[in-house]
A and B are shown apart, each in its own frame.
Chain A
Amino acid sequence: MEFYIQAASAISPKNSLSREPDYTSLIDPKLIRRMSRIIRMSVAAALSCLQEAGVSNPDAIVTGTAYGCLADTGIFLSKVVEQKEEMLPPTAFIQSTHNTVGGQIALMLHCHGYNNTFVHRGHSFESALLDAMLILREKEDSKVLVGGLDEITDISQAILSRFGLYRYAVAGEGAAFFLLTGRKTASTCARLQGLDTFYKPKDDAEIEDRIHSFLASLMLRPEDIDLVIMGNNGDIAGDKIYGQLASSPFNGSAMIRYKDFCGEYPTSGSFALWLAVDAIREGRAERVLIYNHYLGIYHSLMLVSR
């Protein structure tokens, strides 16, 4: 079965020039004030995606986020420590749960449909996307809103830097949402032909095998791909596989290193998917393969075509 992307919308460092856009055309200013940055970014991306698709109430809302609402978690945790568990306000705790964004979108749309949130590190968005695809396999005429989101905070930046994550990679963040259906319409902007994820491959040969069998399962060969969107992040060891793939078998395809635009974060695959849809929408590519790995542990493949 194939899946159709009716709309795609992203808030990321690329299209907002590292500043947050003005959300007042999408969200009630009174609500914006109460929202943390990740909630604002995500709700804005979700609402703009729905607007673009002309869908007022989706049948399902599925989100993926590795870190969840970090800012509110940091605020509440700091207060618990600093105020020695006394006189704590509830707001940050309420907004700290990982399903806050999914719940907020449902609340704003009065959407009583299926609602789920995946929080599995570098596969958070890919799990959400798989869920969306299963929903469409179960009920082809559903309209599913699916998104990936993560934010950087001063605290996460400080801790992840100490882990050495940003020694080469640039810290990233963003929110990207998609409206998926199981049926093609006049306003379909791209086709999601396939998704595959795998965990800790034993060597590069296994990665190449996975890519070949992924393409073969879709009746495709490497030369059918005119654009490959890859997850290079500047880490020499981690980037080696991307270089190998670029020289073979994808030497005939155009390449984009998508993290040059959005930075490194666990749900950056959602930005890559947005970029693929954008390339297809703008007529720059016919068939796009996305390959990314997060820390060499979580690998994902997506195939998007006209």
Chain B
Amino acid sequence: MSSGVFVVGLGAITAIGNNVAGCLAALEARRPGMGDMHWLESVHRGEIPVAEVKMDNEELAAACALSGTGSGRTALLSLIAAREALEDATGSLKDAGIDRSSLRTGFISANTVGGMDKSERFFADFLSDPRKGRLRDVVQHECGSVTEWVAEQLGIRDYMTTISTACSSSANSIFFAARMIRHGLLDMAVAGGTDALTKFTLNGFNTLMILDRGYCKPFDENRNGLNLGEGAGYLVLVSERVANSMRAAGHGGKYYCRLSGYCNANDAYHQTASSPEGTGSYLAMKGALEGSGLQPADIGYINLHGTGTQNNDMAEGIAIRRLFDPHFPAMSSTKSFTGHTLGASGGVEAVFSALSVKHGLVYPNLRWQTAMVGLPFIPERAFRKNEPIRHVMSNSFGFGGNCSSLIFSKD
């Protein structure tokens, strides 16, 4: 098994930007993406803020150079970000004289809603009469259909699969892609995830009473819940052999970082709530550190799961205290910008984490005012660059007790 898996391409679309550069500019300018519901049609408009990608489906399709809006929003978001990541990587590979078509390439994606945005429309007619509803509105209902459609658009056929583990979905797809590369089954993979805002998830989270009616305040004592967001985020991962060829051709500097550690653990406490002691989060972070051979003090920045709910932030905070005390790295939740993008969040935040390692960036945790009782650390409030960061941890925890942590390293 070869040891290294390297990040050579990034792509993202969220409420704060339609590409990686746009997202980064918003992070630096402290410009959050949440606001009144504009594109999603729901009775909760005006009452529950959301972090929407600022385009309707026709504009998203146009951005994919497709005509019409045949595809659902989850797939369109996925294609935009995955294509950006692949083009980013292809440029670097080409510079190094590597022909992409010679690499066994996989598309390992994740989502939780599939084509639910269109299934909702179908259902309104179908419920009145089971012979009604346009069938083309449910062809992407399955999560896997979204991946399949995007893989076809990208021309990736060697391997594709889809993971759905709620809010940790795309951390697990990055994790799985890295393992396939390490086992020699793939040379390169586009890995991450996507999710669109839907009435289904908005109302689902609303019934759990964990949606903030204002803008979320992760890791603040007076936090009131999360804001739902949407988007997609992907990394292009390559094997050590491909990375070495890039280095040998003098283009080693083109890669962003190495994926040095990962771990998936289960909280096994409750279907939707985290255990008070954050067992799953603790085990995921600890396992990722062990896998990378690092000590807690080596981590320079943690991109927190930090949803802004009472339950998550306390469980995650306690797990961090237990593992890192007394060496607390800089920490922040970029969900204070993007909202919680569910199945996309692990991918989006992996993109932010890779940029953090590459450029020494620390992102601000917006709207933070009051330290949480019982936690001996507070999140970062300023955007900082050129920090001497060597290792970044990215946390993704979710329903079903599914907890995953990834570590990105320089060198």
- Taking Cβ atoms with an 8 Å cutoff, the residues of A that contact B are 61, 66-68, 76-78, 80-82, 84-86, 88-90, 93-100, 102-104, 106-107, 109-121, 123-124, 127, 131, 134, 137-138, 155, 158-159, 162-163, 197, 199-200, 297
User: Distance (Å) between the CB of A68 and the closest chain B CB?
Assistant: 7
Q: Which of B164, B206, B268 contacts A112 (CB 8 A)?
A: B268
**Complex contact B207–A90 (CB within 8 A):** yes
Q: For B135, list chain A residues within 8 Å (CB).
A: 159, 162-163
**Complex contact A97–B120 (CB within 8 A):** no
User: Distance (Å) between the CB of B82 and the closest chain A CB?
Assistant: 15
**14 pairs, CB–CB < 8 Å, chain A vs chain B:** A66-B142, A68-B164, A80-B120, A80-B200, A81-B127, A84-B43, A94-B271, A94-B272, A97-B399, A120-B144, A120-B147, A134-B180, A162-B135, A200-B157
Q: Which of A88, A103, A109, A115 contacts B207 (CB 8 A)?
A: A88
- Name which residue of chain A comes closest to B158, CB basis: A199
- Name which residue of chain A comes closest to B43, CB basis: A85
A111 to B267: give the CA distance in the assembly, Å.
Answer: 8
B 276-306 contacts with A by CB, 8 A? 279-280, 283
**Complex contact B200–A103 (CB within 8 A):** no
Interface centre among A80, A90, A158, by most chain B C-beta atoms within 10 angstroms, is A80
**Complex contact B127–A78 (CB within 8 A):** yes
**Complex contact B162–A80 (CB within 8 A):** no
**Complex contact A103–B402 (CB within 8 A):** yes
- Contact pattern, B 116-135, Cβ under 8 Å of A = 1, otherwise 0: 10011001101100110001
**Complex contact A117–B127 (CB within 8 A):** no
**Complex contact A99–B176 (CB within 8 A):** no
A94 to B204: give the CA distance in the assembly, Å.
Answer: 8
A220 to B112: give the CA distance in the assembly, Å.
Answer: 41
With contacts A107-B268, A107-B269 known, is A115 near B165, CB below 8 A?
Answer: yes
A162 to B402: give the CA distance in the assembly, Å.
Answer: 36
Q: What 6 A-B pairs come out closest when comparing CB atoms?
A: A103-B400, A93-B204, A90-B207, A121-B144, A98-B164, A120-B144
**Complex contact A119–B266 (CB within 8 A):** no
Q: For A155, list chain B residues within 8 Å (CB).
A: 126
**Complex contact B400–A99 (CB within 8 A):** yes
B199 CB–A CB distance under 8 Å: yes
B212 CB–A CB distance under 8 Å: no
**Complex contact A77–B166 (CB within 8 A):** no
User: Distance (Å) between the CB of B309 and the closest chain A CB?
Assistant: 14
Q: For A112, list chain B residues within 8 Å (CB).
A: 265-268, 279-280, 283
**Complex contact B142–A121 (CB within 8 A):** yes
With contacts A99-B400, A102-B400 known, is A116 near B165, CB below 8 A?
Answer: yes
A61 to B130: give the CA distance in the assembly, Å.
Answer: 37
Q: For A114, list chain B residues within 8 Å (CB).
A: 264-266
Interface centre among A66, A82, A115, by most chain B C-beta atoms within 10 angstroms, is A115
- Contact pattern, B 235-272, Cβ under 8 Å of A = 1, otherwise 0: 00000000000000000000000000000111111111
- Name which residue of chain B comes closest to A157, CB basis: B130
Q: For A119, list chain B residues within 8 Å (CB).
A: 142-144, 162-164
**Complex contact B176–A98 (CB within 8 A):** no
User: Distance (Å) between the CB of A82 and the closest chain B CB?
Assistant: 7
**Complex contact A67–B142 (CB within 8 A):** yes
**Complex contact B270–A107 (CB within 8 A):** yes
Q: For B162, list chain A residues within 8 Å (CB).
A: 118-120, 127
Supplied contacts A77-B119, A80-B203, A117-B165, 6 more A-B pairs, CB within 8 Å: A66-B142, A76-B200, A103-B402, A115-B264, A115-B401, A158-B130
- Name which residue of chain B comes closest to A99, CB basis: B400
Q: For B271, list chain A residues within 8 Å (CB).
A: 94-95, 100, 103-104, 107
**Complex contact A111–B268 (CB within 8 A):** yes
**Complex contact A123–B183 (CB within 8 A):** no
Q: For B138, list chain A residues within 8 Å (CB).
A: 159
User: Distance (Å) between the CB of B239 and the closest chain A CB?
Assistant: 15
With contacts A100-B400, A104-B271, A113-B266 known, is A134 near B183, CB below 8 A?
Answer: yes
Q: For B266, list chain A residues within 8 Å (CB).
A: 61, 103, 106, 111-115
A165 to B402: give the CA distance in the assembly, Å.
Answer: 34
User: Distance (Å) between the CB of A113 and the closest chain B CB?
Assistant: 7
B148 CB–A CB distance under 8 Å: yes
Q: For A111, list chain B residues within 8 Å (CB).
A: 266, 268
- Name which residue of chain B comes closest to A124, CB basis: B144
User: Distance (Å) between the CB of A208 and the closest chain B CB?
Assistant: 19
**Complex contact A102–B157 (CB within 8 A):** no
B310 CB–A CB distance under 8 Å: no
**Complex contact B165–A85 (CB within 8 A):** no
Q: For A117, list chain B residues within 8 Å (CB).
A: 163-165, 400, 402
Q: For A98, list chain B residues within 8 Å (CB).
A: 112, 143, 164-165
**Complex contact A90–B204 (CB within 8 A):** yes
With contacts A115-B402, A120-B147 known, is A81 near B142, CB below 8 A?
Answer: no
B29 CB–A CB distance under 8 Å: no
- Name which residue of chain A comes closest to B270, CB basis: A107
- Name which residue of chain A comes closest to B162, CB basis: A120
Q: For B204, list chain A residues within 8 Å (CB).
A: 76, 90, 93-94, 96
- Name which residue of chain A comes closest to B205, CB basis: A93
A137 to B398: give the CA distance in the assembly, Å.
Answer: 27
User: Distance (Å) between the CB of A131 and the closest chain B CB?
Assistant: 7
A102 to B269: give the CA distance in the assembly, Å.
Answer: 13
**Complex contact A120–B160 (CB within 8 A):** yes
Q: For B367, list chain A residues within 8 Å (CB).
A: none
A118 to B189: give the CA distance in the assembly, Å.
Answer: 17
Q: For B166, list chain A residues within 8 Å (CB).
A: 97, 99
A45 to B180: give the CA distance in the assembly, Å.
Answer: 28
**Complex contact B127–A82 (CB within 8 A):** yes
With contacts A76-B204, A80-B120, A103-B402 known, is A116 near B163, CB below 8 A?
Answer: yes
A297 to B160: give the CA distance in the assembly, Å.
Answer: 12
